[in-house]
Amino acid sequence: MNINNIELNKIHESLWEIPKHGGMRVPGRIYISENMMQNSLQNDDALKQVINVAHLPGIQKFSLAMPDIHWGYGFPIGGVAATSVEDGVISPGGVGYDINCGVRIASTSLSLDEVQNRIPKLIENLFKKIPTGVGSSGAIKMLSKADVKNILTKGSAWAVENEFGNKNDIEFTEESGCMKEAYVHSVSERAIERGLDQAGTLGSGNHFLEVGVVENIFNDAAAQTMGLFKNQIVVMIHTGSRGLGYQVCEDYLKILHRTSEKFGFDLPDKQLICAPLNSQEGKDYFTAMKCAANFAWNNRQIIMELARRAFKSTFSISDEELAFNLIYDVSHNIAKIEDHSIDGKLRKVCVHRKGATRAFPPGSSQIPRKYLEIGQPVLIPGDMGRYSFIAVGTAKAMDETFGSSCHGAGRIRSRNKALELGKHRDIISELRQRGIVVQAKGKKTLAEEMSYAYKDVKDVVDVMDSAGIINKVAKIKPLGVIKG
């Protein structure tokens, strides 16, 4: 197949390969259906970015892309690349501006028939308790710089120590909610200042808190292990490191551009700016990224606790009656040092996941004991007008994608194009007619985030499921959403 003058060879129905050519050090591989390829990538340069990433020094096996692929900064969104720890690089473009943007989902004991009439009131209370929008300030007191620095090193543990949730939440958070060796000296004063009032804030854009109902279960055993049942009320939270993470990325892009000649890399796109993992610049970016990742986990932890309180007050029930439990929290904009099989040998590599989520298999030492038999929960939100999915990782993911899967639906229209399509439409009423209650700071965000701006997440998930990278567990239908 030829897309935008790029030749792709079909490996199977869900996987295509761009052969190694020119300065590519490895082939490019894209998990996607033929129909999605033709419909979503004809006017998108994301495939070119897959080729560009394949030029990175030390890249291993493949430059990968998931079916939610679309153009991003340097790397495509939906991109995955692993680089050698010995002679490879780390690239901020492989993580993104919103460091550790991620998703967590919590279960409740409530069923739809018990609460359906109270959903509008619940959404109203959630919107009051959880700050949303650009520049939103936290629901907790203004932090000191010392507080922020503690968050950067402790992650979710800071929130739990300050009575936002409990230790069980940490167990069910990727990396236990904290990347180690997160040294605050690598984070600028400006980044710390931007974090002073943003702990416990949702932000804007595609970030959201969604109340949903379990509509379908595909894997009874996995669902039971996660505590899921049909018609159950669940809560999904999608946000990241806010202005602090953005500033970390911006700071290090400037630093790396200033020092790029020092390393002498010949790369096809300046947005792929990078540094050797073992250089001082590479080490400084990596530890600053870890700090921002910890801020994001803490942020989602606080928001989850605020949501729990809104549920309790809305339904006048106790913690025991509500049973508001974290199923899992996954990151989808991050770089990590992991052990993976390369040419039959276990090697340490730096896995960049940019708009991609971890999908580790049953038996992995990196997932909670509760999930050892089923694999790591993989959380894949769609758009606010359709549905989302919960899946689990597989051994095949470890073999083929460095234990990675898709992270969401993936945009098919720019924000500007989505705004044009949303002109003169009453989006809140349209969603209400679908049984979805929405509260948002502005109509602009709603227009940018409607279903017409995104691929159908079912198509995305089905590609990964059919390829054996994940196994579907449940489908979640939205009932109410808050946005910035």
Q: Which residues contact 411 (CB under 8 A, 6 or more apart)?
A: 70, 77, 453, 454, 455
Would you say residue 445 has pLDDT above 80? no
Q: Which residue has the higher pLDDT, 452 or 101?
A: 101
**For the chain, percent of residues with pLDDT exceeding 90:** 82
Mean pLDDT of the chain: 94
Burial 245-282 (b: 16+ CB within 10 A, else e): bbbbbebbbebbeeebeebebebbbebbbbbbbebebb
pLDDT for res 426:
83
> pLDDT for 102-127, tens place per residue?
999 999 999 999 999 999 999 999 99
Angle between helices 119-129 and 280-315 (to 10 degrees): 140
Average pLDDT score over residue span 274-292 = 97
pLDDT for res 288:
98
Residue 376, SS3?
coil
Widest distance between CA atoms in the chain: 64
Residue 351 binned pLDDT confidence (cut-offs 50, 70, 90): very high
In the chain, CATH 3.90.1860.10 covers 102-336+364-483
pLDDT for res 394:
98
Instruction: Report the predicted TM-score, pTM, of the whole model to 2 decimal places.
Output: 0.96
| 77-84 and 345-354 strand pairing | antiparallel
pLDDT for res 449:
79
> pLDDT for 411-421, tens place per residue?
888 787 877 77
Average pLDDT score over residue span 456-467 = 96
Q: Which residues contact 233 (CB under 8 A, 6 or more apart)?
A: 108, 110, 111, 112, 115, 211, 212, 213, 479
Residue 140 binned pLDDT confidence (cut-offs 50, 70, 90): confident
Residue 12, SS3?
strand
* Catalytic residue numbers, as ranges: 407
What CATH number matches the domain at 102-336+364-483, 1.20.1440.120, 3.90.1860.10, 3.20.20.10, 3.30.420.40? 3.90.1860.10
Q: Report the distance separating Cα 235 and Cα 314, nearest Å.
A: 15
